[in-house]
Amino acid sequence: DVQLQASGGGLVQVGGSLRLSCSTSGFNFRNHFIGWFRQAPGKERQGVSCIMGGDGATFYEDSVKGRFTISKDNAKKTVYLQMNSLKPEDTAVYYCAAAPWETVVQGFLNPSEYNYWGQGTQVTVSS
């Protein structure tokens, strides 16, 4: 069975940092995109960043560029999201998701392109 498990969320003050982890199993890590998405109350789910399990290509949503860094550990089949300089608008439930690379055709950060999802982890940035 495909499994993705997100962890690492929490409460942090403005300007602080958190590192999210997404541990995966049940699929070929190297030929999938693994992405981080977030959903704030009353808002649509939004793509944050994704990484190709094979060549490590990365993509970021504009508002997190320069603050968030996505990385992977192929041996552990785990993807990380290092979040620095956190802002109140980063508050959301963060999800990780995966999709075979060949099926991602309309946008690397488009949630509808991803078919495997983990449970979310809450990130709250207090001001």
**Alpha helices, H only, the chain:** none
Mean pLDDT of the chain: 96
How would you class 22 by CB atoms within 10 Å of its CB: exposed for 0-12, middle for 13-18, buried for 19 or more? Answer: buried
Per-residue confidence (pLDDT) for residue 105, from 0 to 100 = 82
Per-residue confidence (pLDDT) for residue 107, from 0 to 100 = 85
Which residues, given as ranges, of the chain have pLDDT below 70?
none
**Short-list 114, 116, 124, CA closest to 83:** 124
> Exposed e or buried b for every residue in 66-103, given b needs 16+ CB within 10 A?
eebbbebeeeebbbbbebeebeeebbbbbbbbbbebee
What is the maximum alpha-carbon separation in the chain?
A: 41
Per-residue confidence (pLDDT) for residue 106, from 0 to 100 = 79
Per-residue confidence (pLDDT) for residue 102, from 0 to 100 = 87
